């Protein structure tokens, strides 16, 4: 097979994968609950090492009490720590929330900025969080958030042969049309969480199975 034929085949495969994903996850919302960019940013920070469900349980009350970065700066640190306790690593997370709030107030007028370059200046915010917040809260497709699910599913589907989130993101951005970047990341997160699970992928229930070259399919 020539290189051109190989490339055509790959393009066709990616097209089929995107079509099947769109049928399965036409909307693909995040499972974190939020009503604005600031809430989403805080929710994503709290979601490290825990489930979205647990974060939602905590933020339901948290976001009623604290609506702005200034609100999070006014509360005593110990109080905030106790409120974040159910999400785990609560001391670190309380500090992270405070540090982000502080910088939002000092540098960005209390608003969540609208570019990845600015968002990654916030302490503890990397490209994944930045792309997720921008894409979902502002509908700006500036990157593809690569979390552990996106990484695993993309590797199994052989959409990338890279190992780091940054390089995987570059490969995916080259394959997926820009207007679909946020949806695509959200869809792979859902697919990784519920179907292409880490230990035992549910290949028999997977709509991508016909186009998936993963050698250790669970069929
Ligand atoms: S066929 Fe299996 S390995 Fe491939 S994407 Fe689906 S669940 Fe994952």
Domain limit, last residue, from 82, 116, 137: 137
pLDDT tens digits, residue range 42-80?
999 999 999 999 999 999 999 999 999 999 999 999 999
Q: Which domain holds residue 96?
A: 37-137
Query: Within a 10 A sphere around the Cβ of 71, how many other Cβ atoms?
Result: 14
Confirm whether 185 is domain-assigned: yes
Domain boundary, last residue among 87, 112, 137: 137
**Is pLDDT above 90 for 215?**
yes
pTM of the full structure: 0.96
Q: Is residue 57 part of a domain?
A: yes
pLDDT in tens, 177-206: 999 999 999 999 999 999 999 999 999 999
For 97-123, the pLDDT digits (tens) are: 999 999 999 999 999 999 999 999 999
Distance (angstroms) between ligand 1 centre and the Cα of 65 equals 42
What's the gap in Å between 217 CA and the centre of ligand 1?
A: 6
Please tell me the residue having the least CA distance from ligand 1 atom 8: 196
Q: Is the same domain home to 56 and 130? A: yes
What pLDDT, on a 0 to 100 scale, did the predictor assign at position 52? 98
Catalytic residues, which ones? 128, 147
Predicted local distance difference test score (pLDDT) of residue 20: 98
Average pLDDT over residues 138-148: 98
Predicted local distance difference test score (pLDDT) of residue 2: 86
Residue nearest to atom 1 of ligand 1 (CA): 209
Report how far ligand 1's centroid is from the alpha carbon of 12 (Å).
18
Mean pLDDT of 129-138: 98
What's 93's domain CATH number?
1.10.340.30
Distances (CA, A) of 145 to 15, 50, 57, 186: 20, 18, 24, 8
**Same domain membership, residue 51 and residue 17:** no
Quickly list H helices, 35-143. Answer: 37-46, 52-65, 69-74, 77-84, 90-108, 116-119, 127-137
Q: Which residues line ligand 1 (CB under 6 A)?
A: 153, 156-157, 195-196, 201-203, 206, 208-209, 212, 214, 217
Supply the residue whose CA is at minimum distance from atom 4 of ligand 1.
Answer: 212
The answer on pLDDT for 1 being more than 90 is: no
Centre of ligand 1 from the C-alpha of residue 92, in Å: 35
Residue at a domain's end among 121, 137, 153: 137
């Amino acid at each position: 097979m020539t290189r051109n034929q190989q490339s055509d085949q790959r393009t066709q495969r990616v097209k089929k994968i995107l079509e099947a994903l769109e049928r399965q996850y036409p909307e693909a919302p995040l499972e974190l609950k939020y009503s604005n960019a600031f809430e989403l940013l805080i929710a994503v920070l709290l979601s490290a090492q825990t489930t979205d469900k647990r974060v939602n349980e905590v933020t339901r009350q948290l976001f009623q009490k604290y609506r702005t970065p200034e609100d999070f700066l006014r509360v005593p640190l110990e109080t905030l720590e106790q409120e974040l306790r159910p999400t785990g690593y609560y001391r670190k997370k309380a500090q992270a929330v405070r540090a982000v709030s502080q910088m939002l107030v000092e540098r960005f007028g209390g608003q969540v900025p609208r570019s990845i370059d600015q968002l990654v200046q916030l302490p503890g915010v990397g490209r994944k969080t930045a792309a997720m917040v921008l894409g979902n809260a502002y509908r700006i497709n500036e990157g593809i958030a690569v979390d552990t699910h996106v990484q695993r599913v993309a590797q199994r589907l052989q959409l990338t042969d890279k190992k780091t989130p940054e390089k995987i993101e570059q490969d995916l951005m080259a394959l997926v049309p820009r207007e679909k970047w946020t949806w695509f990341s959200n869809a792979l997160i859902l697919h990784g969480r519920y179907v292409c699970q880490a230990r035992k992928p549910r290949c028999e229930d997977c709509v991508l199975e016909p186009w998936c070259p993963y050698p250790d399919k669970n069929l």
